[in-house]
Structure 1
Amino acid sequence: MPFLDKIQLWAEERPHDTAVVVGSSRLTWAGLRDAAAALPGQSTNTTVLAEPNSSQFIERYAAAVAGERRCAVLDPQWPAPMIEDVTARIRAAAVPATGKDELVDGDPSSTFLIGLTSGTTSIPKAFTRSRRSWQVSFEASIEFFGLSQDDRTLAPGPLSASLNLYALSECLYAGAAFHTLPTFDVGDAHAAISHDGITRLVLAPTILRLLSERGLAGDVDASGIRSIICAGSKLDARTLEAARRWAPHAAIYEYYGASELSFVSGTRLAAGQPLDASGTGIGSPFPGVDLGILDDAGRSLADGEHGNISVRSGMVSNGYLWGDDGQALRCLDGWFTVGDQGYLDRGTLHILGRRSDMIITSGKNVYPHEVELALASVPGIELAVAAGAPDDIRGQKVIAGVVPAYGAVTATQLRSGLDGLLARDKRPLQYFLLSELPMTDRGKVSRKVLLDWIKNHDPRAQPLA
């Protein structure tokens, strides 16, 4: 059961307590239960939601997974043709709805969520999750993050993003108040933290840096925040330093996971605890997860050996509705992997990145993720993107684009800044100053776009001497 039985329980035990806040709109537990229960059932077993954050969205989401129904949440910022295409594909797989419209959870093994994840084509892959997989995930994350009913969680991003949709669902399951915003705005997020008694943040590192730095500049009090959960990319030293100053009492969590695998590993940094910002380590196995590094034949590899990051857990998705190319989610003798590469070192998982991103230069394997983490730790660098460019002598050469945090930056500064952070044979041979990050039309950082800019002499990527 994901969370509907829990909503019924909290509505009986604490009917007037706050369940959800979206901007100025507030729902109590009884109000959420009654509003969701009053929504008419759909003619098919599948509801597609593609809309901005609102209390009505949350009501519809709860109603859409009643019984053994299922829901797909799409990003409303996608291009209209993509939304139409994905919606048509999902509806083609739907069947007529059966059973009553009561706000209760269906069979734990049944599908309740259709998730979308990026693929090699313009159409995202669609995978499914069972009710049981999220219940297991809730129990594990509540334990790991220490979520309690006294917490007030703010996830300021769009609920169409899996990080925020999961945070909402986790809070509904745990009986903890969940706060979000109709659209992301730094001032509105600060106002919620100041006036709503927020104790817990769930957000990407880039948003944490923005809130922390502007919060410090604007003297926004964040001393009541007890925990900060980050995912989506690895924390960098500048973000951590700003967050420590702004929210001095907060434990900071970062974790690694994949849409199809759920949680894999995580780490907790107590208030004041330092971060290995240039390293690739991202904690120990998540509660309930068996973690191993396997080769392509499914053989277990020893500490320090690179291979497929693989898990056994009850949180893994069921598979795909479409988009399964045989490589996206593989099962190796009971172990599941999405092809991310890494290694274990005394129980700590180190992430190297996707094999498809690997650069082979002069016979050596270099993962862009390692290069990007090291460059992001160089003073004065905001963000970095690394890639492999064709090279007649080496096969490929490592190149990197950087977005400076402030002032000017030179190639000499970058080269000297990598001393002690990155092996010489992994260092970029050429640097480019980026006026913006190379992004796909779906808003994801793209190494291919960076290479296209360089090949076409795009003014957004200027060579650094």
Structure 2
Amino acid sequence: MQTVDVLTCPEPVAAFWQAHADGRDIALATSGTTAGQPRVIVRSTASWVGSFGACAARLGLGPECRFWIPGPLRATMNLFAACLATHAGASWSMTRDDATHAQLTPALLRTLLDAEPPAGLHVLVAGDGLEPGLRHAAEERGLLVSHYYGAAELSMVAWGPDSESLELFDEVDAEVRDGVLWVRSPWLSRVQTDGDGFATVGDLAELDGNRLRLLGRPGTVTTAGATVELAPLEVLLQRQATDRVVVFAVPDERLGQLVCCVTTSADLDAVRGWARENLDGGHRPRRWVTYQHLPLTEAGKVDRAALARGLDKLGRRESPERSS
């Protein structure tokens, strides 16, 4: 039976539920901002619907609730939230008025905290890792905060109050093989699995019982004859910042490659100072690029592709700190 490309339909949420009623798979196109190339993910509607009850229970989401989803439905996490709301009998809207719940990225949560967030709003944060500091800042303003880790191919994997406190979601089995996370659950898309039903998107992780700690996507830089893994380094630097930190490998005529850290101007001194005190050799970033605000995708995620293009324009010369 032909799949339904719900994101091209005039009413994606209605198209999703019609596909569910018809027993048809759905096709979802990703933006490619993380993996570098857009992908089309095919999944059964049941791979989402089956998890909705557990999600709604964790959020206290019911018919009396209103879900604020400010991002476009082209982002699968937003479509997931809208379909979750309708499953729970709640209403949803792209405007904040009278909202009891919200689906936000960490960047959009920071923007909300700069305004006047309504006390008691339950914020579901996804699309990027939620740092404990940002979670605590939100709770101090009277917000309730939940966070989940998933991927377009895997759907729901882990849930917790922030990225340092994630636990495997219902019916999810996970293994870490050579540092890479593999997942088996009813929530997988039509993704390729191994003989035991496990799939991976290549994320690095540590697993302690049911507790999951994400370390980012693999990537290395070879500088001055040493190999540096970028994802764990980014995690370390991120802990010193209030906003997002992104680490890249950039070319260098003398050493071949260098570690470059992109951060906000407000976080630069803290992050660079910590790096000078705690990192040696090739692990210490040698180039720093600063923005007043990091560029975001339409869905509210940090736009790594835009940052990479910006670095490419700077060329191989030592770049000055800059604001954008």
Q: TM-score range by the shorter chain?
A: 0.7 to 0.9
**1 CA distance for matches of 2:36 and 2:236?**
31
Task: Pick closer, same or farther for the CA change 1:374–1:450 going to 2, 3 Å.
Answer: farther
Q: Is the 8 A contact 1:342 1:351 kept in 2?
A: yes
Tell me which of 299, 306, 313 is aligned to 2:185: 313
Match of 1:223?
A: 119
Question: Is the CA contact 2:66–2:92 (under 8 Å) kept in the aligned structure 1?
Answer: yes
| Secondary structure at the counterpart of residue 462 of structure 1 | coil
1:243 maps to what in 2? 138
Q: Quote how far apart the aligned CAs of 1:224 are.
A: 3.1
Distance 2:61 2:113 in 1: 22
Secondary structure of the residue aligned to 2:244 is strand
Paired residues in the alignment total 315
Mapped partners of 1:180, 1:339: distance in 2: 32
TM-superposition CA deviations, 1:407-436 (whole Å, max 9, x none): xx55xx54323478x654533123223366
| AA matched with 2:197 | G
User: How far, CA to CA, are the matches of 2:56 and 2:50 in structure 1?
Assistant: 10
Q: Distance in 1 between matches of 2:293 and 2:119?
A: 33
Q: Which has the larger radius of gyration?
A: 1
1:128 aligns with 2:128: no
CA contact (8 A) 1:152 1:200 kept: yes
**1:34-433 aligned within 5 A:** 46=4, 49-50=7-8, 57=10, 60-65=11-16, 69=19, 105-107=21-23, 110-111=24-25, 113-119=26-32, 124-181=38-95, 189=96, 192=97, 196=98, 198-215=99-116, 222-225=118-121, 227-236=122-131, 239-246=134-141, 248=142, 250-268=143-161, 281-295=164-178, 306=179, 308-319=180-191, 331=194, 333-355=196-218, 357-361=219-223, 362-368=225-231, 370-378=232-240, 382-391=243-252, 396-405=257-266, 409=268, 413-418=270-275, 423-424=279-280, 426-433=283-290
CA contact (8 A) 2:204 2:217 kept: yes
1: CA distance between counterparts of 2:39 and 2:52? 24
Normalising by structure 2, we get a TM-score of: 0.81
Deviations 1:45-91 (A, max 9, x none): 7466558xxxxx5xx33553465x4xxxxxxxxxxxxxxxxxxxxxx
TM-score for the superposition, normalised by structure 1: 0.58
Aligned to 1:298: none
Question: Larger RCO: Structure 1 or Structure 2 (Cα < 8 Å, ≥ 6 residues apart)?
Answer: 2
Deviation (angstroms), 1:238: 5.3
- In structure 2, the gaps of 5 or more residues are none
Question: 1:180-210: per-residue Cα shift (whole Å, max 9, x none)?
Answer: 23xxxxxxx3xx1xxx2x2222111111111
Q: Evaluate the alpha carbon distance shift between residue 414 and residue 65 of structure 1 in structure 2; reply closer, same or farther with a 3 A threshold.
A: closer
Change (3 A) 1:340 1:347: same
Distance 2:276 2:165 in 1: 22
The answer on whether the counterparts of 1:331 and 1:337 sit within 8 Å (CA) in structure 2 is no
Moved more, 384-393 or 152-161: 384-393
Structure 1 residue matching 2:199: 3-state secondary structure? strand
| Structure 2 counterpart SS, 1:453 | helix
1:316 is displaced (CA, Å) by 0.5
- Counterpart of 2:146, as a letter, is Y
Shift in CA distance, 159/254, structure 1 to aligned 2, threshold 3 Å: same
Secondary structure at 1:171 match in 2: helix
SS at match of 1:281: coil
Instruction: Tell me, in whole angstroms, the C-alpha distance in 1 between the residues paired with 2:243 and 2:45.
Output: 40
Paired-residue identity, %: 28
Question: Residue 158 and residue 244 in structure 1: after superposition, are their counterparts in 2 closer, same or farther (change >3 A)?
Answer: same
Shift of 1:151: 2.8
CA gap of 1:345–1:364, structure 2 versus 1, over 3 A, is farther
CA distance in 1, matches of 2:58, 2:298: 35
1:139 is paired with a residue whose SS is helix
TM-aligned CA distance change 1:148 to 1:415, over 3 Å: same
Amino acid in the other structure paired with 1:313: S
Letter of the structure 1 residue corresponding to residue 251 of structure 2: P
Aligned-partner Cα distance in 1 for 2:214–2:5: 36
Contact between 1:312 and 1:336, CA under 8 Å: does it hold in 2?
yes
Evaluate the alpha carbon distance shift between residue 440 and residue 105 of structure 1 in structure 2; reply closer, same or farther with a 3 A threshold.
closer
